[in-house]
A and B are shown apart, each in its own frame.
Chain A
Amino acid sequence: MFKKFTPKEDVSGKSKVKSSVQRGIRAAILEQYPSLNPYIEELMPKKEPLILVKCHDRINIVMVGERLLFFNHHDGPYYPLLDILHTYPDIMPTVQVDRGAIKFVLSGANIMCPGLTSAGARMDVDLPVDSPVAILAEGKEHALAVGKMVMSTSDIKRVNKGVGVDLMHFLNDGLWKTKSEV
């Protein structure tokens, strides 16, 4: 989604949101990532104005101060930016891809089922379709991407063909590169 993303062309506007909207966003994020509760005040202080960066294709990015925090698409669930995810690695469920898949994921490919079912890969929790998921890699400790399940984990194991996870945001994509300079 952010494979080609340059703030200059793709950002259509950014605006401070009303405090009620801000509260709504904050609540939505907390509902989705309850483990962030103790840290939310660091990430999104109540006093600090929250800025919503609107991009093409109905992508919204939540920005506080100069830092991008979360993004969502079509008012869907919020996804954390990867550096947030690196700091708080356990906020969302994870799957792990095998080593062979890393270079494809880093160039923006969706995750294919075999990359999730082979020896180096792991899917420890059962996830339904459409849930946000962090993608780890064999032998690495930090996440390399966030995505959305296209199939449920059980389906991935059963079918083992085609796209398993839709890639939303990965290391060194446009969003990663523009992290702090919108």
Chain B
Amino acid sequence: MSDTEDVAVPVEDWPKTRVRTDIVYCGVCSMPVEYCEFSGTTATCKKWLRKEHPTEFARIWPEDDLEKKMDDVTLQDDEVPDKELTKEQKKAEAKAERERKKKAAQKVIIRRVERTKRKCVIEVSGLENFGVDLKKAAKLFATKFACGSSVTKNPQGLDEIVVQGDMQDAIYELILKTWKEVPEDQMELTEAKKK
């Protein structure tokens, strides 16, 4: 399989490798800290590193370390000096802003769909946008309402929860109660009738 490899590394004498266990991965961009400068969130990375691993920070950003020490005397800790607002950072901020807007536009839709004249199912879509585990949510609905509840793909290819029972308002309240991160004004109750 790997004859090519054997040419470079003969199997007989096991070559030695160093073992590194001291690698610091950035808590912001997750890369080894020396690559933070390419992460696009450099300013936040720097702040994180300075707080968590001051020695590493001094090693990787030697100029900034001195600079910051002097700044610390005059500046508040959380304040970012204006000169650090580079183009890249602005870009990152704009990105964060866009994401926030996107998040505000996301909705949880609870839809009542009629199956026959007097039976219906409730489809809950959009919950995954708020970090809710759909499978767990479906299980919760099933146990709470004593009815069938499952995660299915809708025609758009997105996952949604289908609850077999007329529980629209109850689900609305349950979602508000169990997941505090779902804001009330981003929930929508609708009804769809089969033609």
The yes or no verdict on A and B being binding partners is: yes
A residues near B (Cβ < 8 Å) are 28, 31-39, 75-77, 83, 86-91, 93, 102-103, 106, 125, 127-132, 140-142, 144, 171-172, 176-177
Contact A34-B11, Cβ < 8 Å, known A87-B19, A142-B32, A177-B30: yes
A131 adjacent to B1 (CB under 8 Å): no
Bound-state CA distance A168–B32 (Å) is 18
Interchain CA distance A102-B2 in the complex, whole Å: 28
A141 touches B1 (CB 8 A): no
Quote the shortest CB–CB distance from B3 to chain A (angstroms): 9
Q: Interface size of B by Cβ–Cβ distance < 8 Å? A: 28
Q: Which B36-91 residues sit within 8 Å CB-CB of chain A?
A: 38-39
User: Do B9 and A131 touch across chains, with their CB atoms under 8 A apart?
Assistant: no
Pair count A-B, CB < 8 A:
86
A34 touches B15 (CB 8 A): yes
Taking a contact as CB atoms closer than 8 A, the residue among A32, A87, A90 that contacts B2 in the complex is A32
- Residues of B near A132 (CB, < 8 A) are 5
Contacting pair A176 B32 (CB below 8 A): no
Contact, CB under 8 Å: A142 / B34 = yes
Verify if B102 is at the interface (C-beta below 8 Å from A): no
A140 to B35, CA, bound (A): 8
A-B contact pairs, 26 of them (CB 8 A): A28-B2, A31-B2, A31-B6, A31-B11, A34-B11, A35-B17, A37-B14, A75-B1, A86-B20, A87-B19, A88-B17, A89-B18, A89-B20, A90-B15, A102-B35, A102-B38, A106-B38, A128-B7, A129-B4, A131-B4, A132-B5, A141-B34, A142-B34, A142-B35, A171-B31, A172-B39
Q: Which residue of B lies closest to A39 (CB)?
A: B19
| Chain B residues within CB distance 8 Å of chain A | 1-2, 4-11, 14-21, 23, 25, 29-32, 34-35, 38-39
Closest A residue, CB atoms, query B8: A93
CB-based contact A130/B19 at 8 Å:
no
Choose among A77, A89, A125 the residue that contacts B17 (Cβ–Cβ < 8 A). Answer: A89
CA distance A174 to B150 in the complex (A): 28
